[in-house]
Structure 1
Amino acid sequence: MDALIHIKRFSLAHTILLLVFLHWAGASHALPAATTAQTLQVGPERVLTTPSMAARLARSGDTIEIDAGVYANDYVTWAQDDITIRGVGGLAHLKSSGNISNGKAIWIVAGKNALIENIEFSGAKVQDSNGAGIRHESGNLTLRNTYFHHNEFSILTGGDREASLVIEDSRFFRQKRAGRFSHGLYIGELGRFSITGSHIMGTDRGHQIKSRARENHIRYNRIEDIPGGNSSRLVDLPNCGLSFVVGNDLHQADSTQNVDAIGYGAEGCDDRSAQERQLFVVNNTFVNEAWNGALVRNHAGGDVSVFNNLTYGRGRFLLGKGEKANNYFVNLSHRRPGSWLPPRKAKAVDGGRELDSHGGTALLPDRVFVLPVGTAARKVHGRLDAGSQELPQ
């Protein structure tokens, strides 16, 4: 039996060495670089059984396909440029059950351009309580149909102003740290951050989204507390940034840690240009179960515009300096369970105003969030309704 195990291990080791040789030999003898990209397949029944094995072989431009299933305590640094990593046949689940050995994240992304899709991350924790599903250290990263849950943080990014993060159609649930607050998404001082069609909920005591990026696009998402939830702000932009918060479903529980849903400039914006001190909050529906509060709190005195929003509950639309118009309150008791639509006879119906684009970026919504993730076209009947969803005829 021992001899058989030895033979299997010997065979696997030599197979991997052969793959390494062929992979790199192909690169040295290929003609144009564009033709050298290869696809590496990962799965329990394949030669490469874990993502970390593929990472040791992968080169810039490659695609890594990971079979659906659970990959336990497998930690990777992706340093390649122009790389695609995707789950196939369902979500590939990267599950951590103890302190992560690299002290940072299940996956560290450090290449120039990366696309990650159909991947699930859970259980990330480290000794200093800053463990993440993904640590984004540099370059442009796109996440599509990813699922982060029960981590200390879902995503932590660095402060590379040349870098960007794009998130599409993804889920974030119950990020939590023992004895400390957590943020659902924590974005550093990137050049650009965008999230669309995604569902963020259940963050423990911290902000659901916190971003220090120079430019932020938060469109067509559902950002909400769970029943009895204790998150702080739904969106916190502490250093301002040119920011667009458009067409989102927003929910705040009565047990929230902070009654202001969106914060702007709370930690100072002195190093930001006039262009980077502009916030547009347009066509969102805010379900506010708290006793008071505001949809937007402007700490910095930047140029804040709040238009076409609908609030179920109490509070203000804007606290601090800024312009507001065509915003409507509806009594919380008039909301149908689970609905984000305005009541049929509410002033919010056909109550939106037309808005010009800003610097080539549309301010008015053309899509709506749909469960479980994603967006659909917004069908306007007559004039635009206030809020995130359009009342059907």
Structure 2
Amino acid sequence: MNRPTRLAFALGLPLLAAVPTASSLGQSGDAAPYTVAETGRSFTRLQDAVDAIGDGRGTIRFASLRFADCAVQGQGDVTYQATVPGQSVLDGKACEDKAALVLRGRNARIEGLVFANIRVPDKNGAGVRLEHGNLSVSQAWFRDSEQGVLSGDDAQGAIRIDKSTFTRLGTCEGPGCAHSVYIGNYGLLAITRSRFEAGTGGHYVKSRAARIELTDSSFDDTAGRGTNYMVDLPEGATGTIAGNWFVQGRDKENYSAFVAVAAEHRSHPSAGLAVEGNNARFAPGVDRRSAFVADWSGEPLKLGQNALGAGIAGFEKR
């Protein structure tokens, strides 16, 4: 299979460095940086724009700026949209000591935003902290933080991530580990056409959701530091892991498997979980043995053909 390409804006660090900060607007007399599309009203604080939508439905458009700002969505249906994808950066500030966006409304959509440098005292600082409701993320970049997307539990909810990049995320410095993506007991986690790279601890994707759909994405651990599994489904899951590209790097806390199923509990059935059409190998110069899929569930998984490099066993029962 062809290696999935990273998002164009994820290559553009010089471009991001040139984006002005939101604090410069007040000095120049330019328009406020957040605009609610449905009403045309503009706001200088993100929280005020969220509150203006309230329990309704609306779209907040972000100017091309770096923002030392954050917000809590307690209700409603809100879209957070960069006017130019990759040029609106929520940088370094967390609300409630949790995340740049703390979400507990009905629905939230994130389009084209960048989340960077989010750190909090308990080492769980995230770009997005989802506590309730549905979430869709597209063309977003999460980088240089403790976590990218972190969720609580909502067994009826769905999380969908598409065309997004996760760079230099994760840590095991706190009481537990943080991960690039860490999903609680949700109904569905779907990740498509996305890239994970250069993790700094924990897993790249850890999901306690009942169903996983992970397709056409890449996991490049070549520059990872102290990382663990590429995909961890600790409670078990059904669904599909297909068409992905995995490279395991040298600096691992645990290199015994690429994909782990039900390593902690068997809360969800795993029978029929399809793992097929993936490409997995070690980074150049790495010589070891590992399992592509390690299974603790004891249930019949659906393992199709996967292209595996030297030293990688297709399946191990544990």
- Matched residue, 2:253: 257
User: % of aligned pairs identical?
Assistant: 26
- Matched residue, 1:20: none
1:245 has 2:241 as partner: yes
Deviations 1:300-323 (A, max 9, x none): 2122122121012212000018xx
Question: What letter matches 1:308 in structure 2?
Answer: Q
- Matched residue, 1:185: 181
1:80 has 2:71 as partner: no
Contact 1:81 1:113 in 2 (8 A): yes
Contact 2:50 2:78 in 1 (8 A): no
Distance 1:290 1:211, change over 3 A: farther
Once the 2 structures are TM-superposed, how far is the Cα of residue 123 of structure 1 from its aligned partner?
1.3
1:317 maps to which of 286, 300, 314? 314
CA–CA distance in structure 2, aligned partners of residues 257 and 290 of structure 1: 16
Question: What letter matches 1:38 in structure 2?
Answer: E
Name the SS for the 1:53 alignment partner.
helix
Name the SS for the 2:83 alignment partner.
strand
CA–CA distance in structure 2, aligned partners of residues 250 and 318 of structure 1: 15
Distance 1:208 1:48, change over 3 A: same
Q: Which moved more, 1:224-233 or 1:162-171?
A: 224-233
Deviations 1:91-135 (A, max 9, x none): 3100016xx351211111111122110111111111211111110
Name the SS for the 2:49 alignment partner.
helix
2:127 maps to which of 133, 137, 140? 133
Question: What letter matches 1:305 in structure 2?
Answer: K
Once the 2 structures are TM-superposed, how far is the Cα of residue 280 of structure 1 from its aligned partner?
1.1
Distance 1:194 1:290, change over 3 A: farther
Name the SS for the 1:56 alignment partner.
helix
Decide which structure has the larger Cα Rg and report it. Answer: 1
CA–CA distance in structure 2, aligned partners of residues 69 and 237 of structure 1: 37
Distance 1:228 1:234, change over 3 A: closer
CA–CA distance in structure 1, aligned partners of residues 59 and 203 of structure 2: 34
Give the gaps of 5 or more residues in structure 1: 1-8, 17-22, 24-36, 42-46, 322-393
1:48 has 2:43 as partner: yes
List, as ranges, runs of 4+ consecutive aligned residues in structure 1 with deviation greater than 6 Å.
Answer: none
Question: What letter matches 1:110 in structure 2?
Answer: R
Once the 2 structures are TM-superposed, how far is the Cα of residue 179 of structure 1 from its aligned partner?
2.7
Name the SS for the 1:232 alignment partner.
coil
- Matched residue, 1:296: 293
Question: What letter matches 1:255 in structure 2?
Answer: D
Give the gaps of 5 or more residues in structure 2: 1-25
CA–CA distance in structure 2, aligned partners of residues 147 and 228 of structure 1: 17
1:70 has 2:70 as partner: no
1:174 maps to which of 163, 168, 172? 168
Question: What letter matches 2:261 in structure 1?
Answer: Y
CA–CA distance in structure 1, aligned partners of residues 260 and 199 of structure 2: 16
Distance 1:277 1:189, change over 3 A: farther
Aligned-CA RMSD value: 2.3
Once the 2 structures are TM-superposed, how far is the Cα of residue 257 of structure 1 from its aligned partner?
2.2
1:154 has 2:148 as partner: yes
Question: What letter matches 1:52 in structure 2?
Answer: Q
Distance 1:228 1:57, change over 3 A: closer
Once the 2 structures are TM-superposed, how far is the Cα of residue 81 of structure 1 from its aligned partner?
2.2
Name the SS for the 2:48 alignment partner.
helix
Q: How many residue pairs get matched?
A: 279
CA–CA distance in structure 2, aligned partners of residues 290 and 55 of structure 1: 51
1:267 has 2:264 as partner: yes
Name the SS for the 2:155 alignment partner.
coil
CA–CA distance in structure 2, aligned partners of residues 83 and 175 of structure 1: 26
User: Within 5 A, what are the aligned runs for 1:221-240?
Assistant: 221-227=217-223, 229-240=225-236
Determine which structure has the larger strand proportion and give its number: 2
User: Within 5 A, what are the aligned runs for 1:1-393?
Assistant: 38-40=38-40, 47-59=42-54, 60-72=56-68, 74-91=69-86, 92-96=88-92, 100-177=94-171, 179-180=173-174, 181-227=177-223, 229-259=225-255, 260-269=257-266, 271-273=267-269, 276-288=270-282, 289-320=286-317
CA–CA distance in structure 2, aligned partners of residues 135 and 228 of structure 1: 23
Question: What letter matches 1:320 in structure 2?
Answer: K
Question: What letter matches 2:298 in structure 1?
Answer: G
Of structures 1 and 2, the one scoring higher in RCO (CA 8 A, sep 6+) is 2
Name the SS for the 1:295 alignment partner.
strand
Name the SS for the 1:301 alignment partner.
coil
CA–CA distance in structure 2, aligned partners of residues 101 and 64 of structure 1: 18
Name the SS for the 2:135 alignment partner.
strand
CA–CA distance in structure 1, aligned partners of residues 172 and 250 of structure 2: 23
Name the SS for the 2:84 alignment partner.
strand
Contact 1:39 1:64 in 2 (8 A): no
